[in-house]
């Protein structure tokens, strides 16, 4: 009898080692995505060491050189090494991706817990607000906000964090709503635990799986959104080599003479977003079976 009572009712917490084994055995594609993602983080963090040339190192004799051993990704119209620029681009993407995704996740969790656990009028009003917010295309909100606050890295990070955070609050809210009705939450309420304690000790640990999944998929979404914005010339201002920025502006004029200028940044972007997507999907399948099939 006592065994029944003490058995955990919530989601079993996965152990890291066993979890990794399951990831590689059951989800080889997702594991590959995870490895690529780690590689991308590594490249971003150590870009200064890895890059053979400086971020904006100009070399007039090496203008528009096709890919070679010296310049694996070719050079641009000012003789800048595309490999180095793509590596520094990865650095910017890592910084923006991780910070904005963290902010977005934090906002989602804050709104999701407040509306999902407290419910009532706050929830009702907040849900209509989220409805309205989500009927604006992400890109349009970003463009409008940037038109007001001006382009720049801190602005982009805050805007993206807030933007994706509000959208993602739905996922957290639904997780909170399903956890809220568990026996252990009622038990905590009945022995008089305070609301902050219940939220931190009982709700939060049990919605960790969707939070991790949300964070992973947000990294990809942030990188994609930032590059789109930089492509339109509204992201991190040049000469910072963001992947989106490399595909627009000056580079664009010379793409017809040097198609490798269009190839490298686009491929980097596609591979990283692809990797985050499959990694996120695999994590979701393993950690949070409830969300399977939804996006």
Partner 1 sequence: MQAYIARRLLALLPTLLFASIIVFVTVRLIPGDIIDMMLSQNDVSAGKMDREALVAALGLDKPIWSQYLTWVGRIIFHGDLGNSLWQTTPVTEQLAARLPVTFELGLLAVLIGLTIALPIGVYSAIRQDTAGDYISRSFSILMLAIPSFWLGTMVLVIPSIFWGWSPEVSYIPFFEDPIGNIKQMLLPAVVLGTALSAITMRMTRTMMLEVLRQDYIRTAMAKGLPERLVVVRHALRNALIPVVTLIGLQAPIIIGGTVILEQIFGIPGMGLLLLDAVNQRDYPIITGVFLVVGVAVMLINLVVDLSYGLLDPRVRVRS
Site string for partner 1, 133-152 (x = CB under 8 A): xxxxxxxxx-xxxxxxxx--
Q: Applying CB under 8 A, does 154 fall inside the site for partner 1? A: no
* CB contact set of 93 (below 8 Å; sequence gap of 6+): 40, 44, 223, 226, 227, 242, 243, 272
Interacting span for partner 1 (CB under 8 A) from 52-60, 103-111, 210-218, 267-275: 267-275
Token pair 């520094």 in the structure block, residue: 88
Interacting span for partner 1 (CB under 8 A) from 40-48, 172-180, 204-212, 227-235: 227-235
Residue 104 or residue 179: which is nearer to partner 1 going by CB? Answer: 104
Q: Applying CB under 8 A, does 132 fall inside the site for partner 1? A: yes
Q: Applying CB under 8 A, does 92 fall inside the site for partner 1? A: no
Binders of partner 1 in range 191-210 (CB under 8 A): none
97 vs 73: CA distance, rounded Å: 24
Phi and psi (nearest 5°) for 177?
-60, -40
User: What 3-state class would DSSP assign to 75?
Assistant: strand
How is 238-289 classified by DSSP, letter by letter? TTS--HHHHTSHHHHHHTTT-THHHHHHHHHHHHHHHHHHHHHHHHHHHH-G
Residue 120 or residue 137: which is nearer to partner 1 going by CB? Answer: 137
Q: Applying CB under 8 A, does 183 fall inside the site for partner 1? A: no
| Min separation Cβ 12 and partner 1, Å | 27
- Burial label for 156, CB within 10 Å (0-12, 13-18, 19+), is buried
293 vs 285: CA distance, rounded Å: 9
Give the binding site for partner 1 (CB under 8 A).
128-129, 131-141, 143-150, 220, 224, 227-228, 231-232, 234, 244, 247-248, 252, 255-256, 259, 262, 265-266, 269-271, 273-274, 277-278, 281, 293, 295
């Amino acid at each position: 009898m006592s065994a029944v009572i003490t058995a955990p009712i919530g989601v079993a917490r996965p152990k890291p080692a066993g979890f990794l084994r399951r990831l590689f055995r059951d989800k080889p594609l997702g594991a590959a995505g995870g490895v690529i993602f780690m590689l991308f983080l590594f490249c971003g963090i150590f870009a200064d060491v890895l890059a053979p040339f400086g971020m904006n190192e100009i070399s007039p004799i090496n203008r528009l050189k096709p890919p070679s051993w010296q310049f694996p990704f070719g050079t641009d119209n000012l003789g800048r090494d595309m490999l180095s620029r793509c590596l520094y681009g990865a650095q910017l993407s890592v910084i923006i991706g991780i910070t904005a995704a963290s902010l977005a996740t934090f906002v989602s969790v804050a709104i999701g817990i407040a509306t999902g656990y407290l419910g009532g009028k706050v929830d009702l009003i907040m849900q209509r607000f989220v409805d309205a917010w989500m009927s604006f295309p992400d890109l349009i909100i970003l463009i409008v906000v940037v038109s007001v606050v001006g382009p720049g890295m801190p602005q982009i990070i805050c805007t993206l964090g807030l933007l994706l955070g509000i959208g993602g609050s739905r996922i957290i809210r639904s997780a909170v709503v399903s956890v809220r009705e568990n026996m252990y939450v009622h038990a905590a309420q009945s022995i008089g635990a305070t609301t902050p304690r219940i939220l931190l000790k009982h709700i939060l640990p049990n919605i960790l799986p969707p939070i991790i999944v949300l964070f992973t998929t947000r990294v990809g979404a942030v990188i994609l959104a930032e590059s789109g914005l930089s492509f339109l010339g509204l992201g991190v201002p040049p000469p910072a080599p963001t992947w989106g920025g490399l595909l627009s502006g000056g580079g664009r004029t010379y793409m017809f003479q040097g198609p490798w200028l269009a190839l490298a940044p686009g491929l980097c972007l596609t591979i990283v977003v692809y990797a985050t997507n499959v990694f996120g999907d695999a994590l979701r399948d393993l950690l949070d079976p409830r969300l399977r099939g939804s996006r």
